[in-house]
Structure 1
Amino acid sequence: MSADPSIGDEPHPQALDHLFRLGYDRLYAGDHAGAARAFHAAVTADPSNGEAWSALAEASGGIGAADLAAVCFRRAVAMEPANRTWRPMLAEALRQCGEIDAACVLFRALAVEQSDSAPVRLGLARCLAALGHSEDALEEFREAVALRPNDRDAVLALAAALTSSGDSLAAVELLQPLARRNENDAAVHHALGRNWLALREPVKALTALRHARDLAEGEEASAVERLIAELEAGEGADLSAAYVRALFDRYADRFDRDLVGKLGYAAPDLLRSAVDRLVPDVSGLRILDLGCGTGLAGVSFKPLASHLAGVDLSPRMVEKARQRGLYDALTVADVVEEMGRIPGGWDLLIAADVLVYIGDLVPVFSAAAGALVPGGRFAATVERLPDDPASRSAKPFALGANRRYAHAEAYIRKIAEAAGFTIRLMEPCTPRREKGVPVPGLLFVAERAARQSD
């Protein structure tokens, strides 16, 4: 390390106080390089001084020398193992230089000793996230914010974890008050804009992102500008999993009352009637309810099931379904992913008013073919998009103003056949009403081929 002109290469131990004053003055002034030179001279003067090693570590971290900071904090902690300040700083230095396992072990020990320390819980959360323990990390992020609710870094970290978990609604609820308190913080408004975008709220997303653009610099400014350009060009209009999850999480408490009472929701009963017509008196089926919501379809299909399972993106809807006591298993997950979890595990898949939140249904039919036993059936409703035989460029599906997809009958037939299904029943239906007007729909029951081709 190069020496400051005012500091000798090997200062006399009596100059230690002067070196500390000089180092701290430069550290507090933001001159980390100058501070590092002063503290380097201090550890040269007194290698057994733990404070000198700790101060050198802090200054080294400020100039991006995370490896050196970790080495210096290790020396300091070795000299004073009980120091409650240096051990968390060592753990953080280890995390920043990539020694995640070692950092996690130390943060875990510190969390037992200092359970009320927000920085310790935040450090542990970041380590757990880096190691792929996302649920444990989320718990620790929540603890950090509970201990220090106005800590900008802790709130941003928790919001990022919630975003990664697909819960953009919770992230927005955290970020909105933070944004009001930090009007001039580009990172906060950038994060808020990205989550509004995930929730398919383009107007709110643009407001937050434009504000972030006015504040951001460098790479962050470029990233914000790209998002704004995509939004203004109308890209990203498709529904996201985060949007669907947030929509139904918010709707869970009044879902049954509104859907059945106000909207005349009939999709489950229509599907049950169709299955009964095709296979009268059937029972003992292994049934998977795709997008089970609060379990309305479970009520209709429970009498046919030896094992009834449900899957939904919304944790709050799944909890409502669990309260019915109808299902043998319930999972919070994406329907395509869940179908892939148990190949050939189901006799019947039902999707009542669920595919309206998915545009491209090719992955759905492909997953359904893999999930069903040979001869198994896939019964679902969709909203109907009128076919236009005269148009070669007719859309197979379209997103309406109500943020629900409508699908063309010809498209359903084509992709079902391509996935190895035979359509046993396809008929018009009215799955629900919208503003008192019947919604035009289609009901289909597709049967997987008894013997799949290789």
Structure 2
Amino acid sequence: MPVVGVPVGEGVEAALAAAQEALYRDDRTAALAHARAALDLDAGVGEAHALLAELLADQADGTAVAHARAAVAAEPGRLEWQRLLAEALASDGQVAEARAVAAAALDRRPDDAALHRLLARLLLAVGERDGALSHAREARFLAPRDLSGLASLGHVWREAGEPLLAAEVLEPALRQAHPMDPARAAAGVALARAWIELAEPRKARDVLEAALEADPADTAGAKVLLDGIDGSGGELTPAFVRALFDQYADRFDQHLVGKLGYGVPGKLREALGRLGLVDGAGLRVLDAGCGTGLMGVEARGLAGTLAGFDLSPRMVEKARARGIYDRLWVGELVEAFRAEPGAWDLLLAADVLVYLGDLDPVMRAAAAALVPGGRFAFSVERAADGFVLQESRRYAHSEAHVRAAAEAAGLEVEMLEPLVPRLDRGKPLDGLLVVLRRRSAPSSARPDISG
């Protein structure tokens, strides 16, 4: 019996040719009909199964996986069909099998960028960040001008906590791309998401507007992101701070101390001395936002145990190289304070709170972290009122805001005085040096942090 749409006597090849022609015209409905017609003529045709697997990839009923399996069964040696099966399995949530299929295919073709991109996504989905980044690096090396592939990698880098890398790769790739490249919109959205995480709403807006111009149908979803930017407030995100200091780590000490006259660690140590804290005090000290360890050098004499953390892994590496800390880790400020309640005699935050807006959450977390009578010593840049995000991408805080946040958290102001933390464009920056003391006593139990 003749198949509808297929000339009598021309059979499977005619059906497949008609399916490809329909795809060229972007007529997916006709392409599906012709591919199914080919299978009606011969149920074992791998080309038809592969085509149906691609066309049905957005279905959540396992049909794409079934057709991809059939294609591989028809011709096990076809690498592109093995990749197709891995993609279908991944979309269907069968991550373990998808990973096994992709890895086996990659063993045969280690230079396949698409397989590296797929494995990067799969590894990230199961929390294997380092492996994911390794495959992403290889995929970029193998296909440095594939804008569609770079857009996919952009999401991997961002979700792995590397939005700066995504921006550094995608921005020049978009500049160099052909104006008619169909991947421009998807790459633009990937870049915009990175800029949003890096607290760069203006850059994100520009990219999203260009993405909409390239694809008025907005298949990449630029409009939703664009609508949300104006309400974001431009707050600094942890990703922005981490990215900033990861790229700054190697020249941090030389630039900050040598060129900007940064002296907050020494001034905080001197202030604590005026309050009676002397070397040999044996305190349990936590250096929050430790950076390369400049504050740790000043505080080591006060400490029986000196711990530190920073959002930037590269900064933590630099601090570890000094050999002065008993514990170091990568962490976020409020979370780290909350993690060990009543554990610390002294919290230090030298030039750290400038990356936070409202100080109320960090004050409450600090109060919970301190023992009775414990101290929280830090610096801020001074604002006239409340807190404000400056052009420098750093927050300034007013004295009134510091006092109010401390009072609400049960911390009393033991010292609050003017401070010049560093130079800004050759001029002294207006700041405050603050030491707070925990008033009310939490539980007397103090966990051992020596490990």
Q: Where on the TM-score scale, by shorter chain, does this alignment land: which range?
A: 0.7 to 0.9
Q: Which residue is 2:311 aligned to?
A: 313
Q: Distance in 2 between matches of 1:17 and 1:260?
A: 73
Distance 1:221 1:411 in 2: 38
Contact 1:212 1:224 in 2 (8 A): no
Q: How many angstroms apart in 2 are the aligned matches of 1:260 and 1:104?
A: 48
1:31 match: 27
Give how far 1:134 is off: 4.0
Matched, 1:46 2:42: yes
CA distance in 2 between partners of 1:19 and 1:252 (Å): 61
SS in 1 for 2:79: coil
Q: Separation in 2 of the partners of 1:272 and 1:65?
A: 61
Tell me, in whole angstroms, the C-alpha distance in 2 between the residues paired with 1:351 and 1:64.
52
Q: 2:104 aligns with which of 104, 109, 112?
A: 109
1:447 aligns with 2:437: yes
CA distance in 2, matches of 1:207, 1:85: 37
How many residues are aligned here? 436
* Secondary structure in structure 2 of the residue aligned to 1:443: strand
Deviation for aligned residue 1:450: 5.4
Residues 158 and 84 (structure 1 numbering): CA distance in 2 closer, same or farther, change over 3 Å?
closer
What's the offset of the Cα at 1:89? 0.9
Q: What residue number does 2:278 align with?
A: 280
> Could you tell me which residue of structure 2 aligns to residue 18 of structure 1?
14
1:391 corresponding residue in structure 2: none
Aligned equivalents of 2:420, 2:36: Cα separation in 1: 78
Whether the aligned pair in 2 keeps the contact of 1:199 and 1:243 (CA below 8 Å) is yes
Describe the shift of the 1:20–1:439 C-alpha distance in structure 2 as closer, same or farther (beyond 3 A): closer
Q: By how many angstroms is 1:379 displaced?
A: 1.0
CA contact (8 A) 2:371 2:441 kept: no
Q: Could you say which residue in structure 1 is the equivalent of 2:398?
A: 408
The answer to whether the 8 A contact 1:60-1:66 is kept is: no
- Verify: 1:246 aligned to 2:243, yes or no: yes
CA distance in structure 2 between the aligned counterparts of 1:281 and 1:69, rounded to whole angstroms = 69
Note if 1:142 corresponds to 2:142.
no
Query: Which residue of 2 is the match for residue 392 of structure 1?
Result: none
User: Does the residue aligned with 1:445 lie in a helix, a strand or coil?
Assistant: strand
Distance 1:104 1:370, change over 3 A: farther
The 1:217–1:350 alpha-carbon spacing in structure 2 relative to 1, beyond 3 Å, is: same
**Structure 2 residue corresponding to 1:76, chosen from 67, 71, 94:** 71
SS of alignment partner, residue 446 of structure 1? strand
Q: Go from structure 1 to structure 2 and tell me whether the alpha carbon gap of 1:28 and 1:4 turns closer, same or farther (over 3 Å shift).
A: farther
- Please give the TM-score of this superposition, normalised by the length of structure 1: 0.85
Q: Within the alignment, does 1:421 sit opposite 2:411 as a pair?
A: yes
Change (3 A) 1:414 1:161: same
1:132-188: per-residue Cα shift (whole Å, max 9, x none)? Answer: 444433332222222222222321122223223443322211012211133452232
TM-score (structure 2 length as normaliser) = 0.85
Equivalent residue number for residue 224 of structure 2: 223
Letter in 2 for 1:152: L
1:213-362 aligned at under 5 Å gives the runs 213-218=212-217, 220-223=221-224, 225-227=226-228, 230=230, 236-278=233-275, 279-362=277-360
The offset of 1:266, in angstroms, is: 1.6
The one-letter code matched in structure 2 to 1:5 is V
Instruction: Give the deviation of 1:448 after TM superposition.
Output: 2.3
Q: Which moved more, 1:115-124 or 1:281-290?
A: 281-290
> Residue 25 and residue 383 in structure 1: after superposition, are their counterparts in 2 closer, same or farther (change >3 A)?
closer
Q: What is the CA–CA distance in structure 2 between the aligned matches of 1:46 and 1:326, rounded to whole Å?
A: 73
Which amino acid in the other structure matches residue 222 of structure 1? K
TM-fit CA distance, 1:301: 0.9
Relative to structure 1, the CA distance from residue 428 to residue 199 in structure 2 (aligned partners, 3 Å threshold; closer, same or farther) is same
1:351-399 C-alpha deviation (Å, 9 max, x unpaired)? 011111211111111221232333322111112334xxxxxxxx32223
Supply the AA of the counterpart residue of 2:223: S
User: What is the rounded CA distance, in whole Å, between the counterparts of 1:125 and 1:217 in structure 2?
Assistant: 30
CA distance in 2, matches of 1:440, 1:314: 26
Letter in 1 for 2:5: S
* In 1, Cα distance between equivalents of 2:315 and 2:292: 5
Q: Which runs of 5+ in 1 are unaligned?
A: 387-394
Shift of 1:82: 4.1
Determine if contact 1:33/1:60 at 8 Å carries over to the other structure: no
Identity of aligned residues (%): 45
Counterpart secondary structure, 2:34 = helix
Gaps of 5+ in 2: 444-451
Query: What amino acid maps onto 2:165 in structure 1?
Result: A
Q: Is the 8 A contact 1:122 1:141 kept in 2?
A: yes
**Structure 1 segment 70-219 matched on structure 2, within 5 A:** 70-182=65-177, 183-184=179-180, 185-201=184-200, 203-218=202-217
| 2:448 alignment partner in structure 1 | none
2:379 to 374, 378, 381: 381
Aligned-pair Cα RMSD in Å = 3.0
- CA deviation digits over 1:82-128, x for unaligned, max 9? 44332211111122233333323322333344332211121222223
Distance 1:80 1:241 in 2: 49
* CA apart distance, 1:218: 4.1
State the Cα deviation string for residues 254-281 of structure 1 (Å, max 9, x = none).
3222322232222111111222232334
- Measured after TM superposition, the shift of residue 238 of structure 1 is 3.0
Structure 2 Cα separation of the partners of residues 57 and 210 of structure 1: 34
- State the Cα distance separating 1:401 from its structure 2 match: 3.6
* In structure 2, distance between residues paired with 1:17 and 1:339: 68
1:293-326 Cα offsets, whole Å, 9 max, x none, are 2211111112222332222223333333233222
User: Aligned AA for 1:190?
Assistant: V
Verify the 8 A CA contact 2:411 2:439 in the aligned structure 1.
yes
Name the stretch that deviates more: 358-367 or 176-185. 176-185
CA distance in 1, matches of 2:22, 2:215: 28
CA distance in 1: counterparts of 2:46 and 2:140, whole angstroms: 32
Preserved CA contact (<8 Å) 1:4 1:34: no
Determine helix, strand or coil for the equivalent of 2:236.
coil
Report the Cα offset of residue 51 of structure 1: 4.0
Q: Would the aligned equivalents of 1:420 and 1:449 in 2 still touch at CA under 8 Å?
A: yes
Report the Cα distance in structure 2 between the residues aligned to 1:271 and 1:305, rounded to whole angstroms.
14
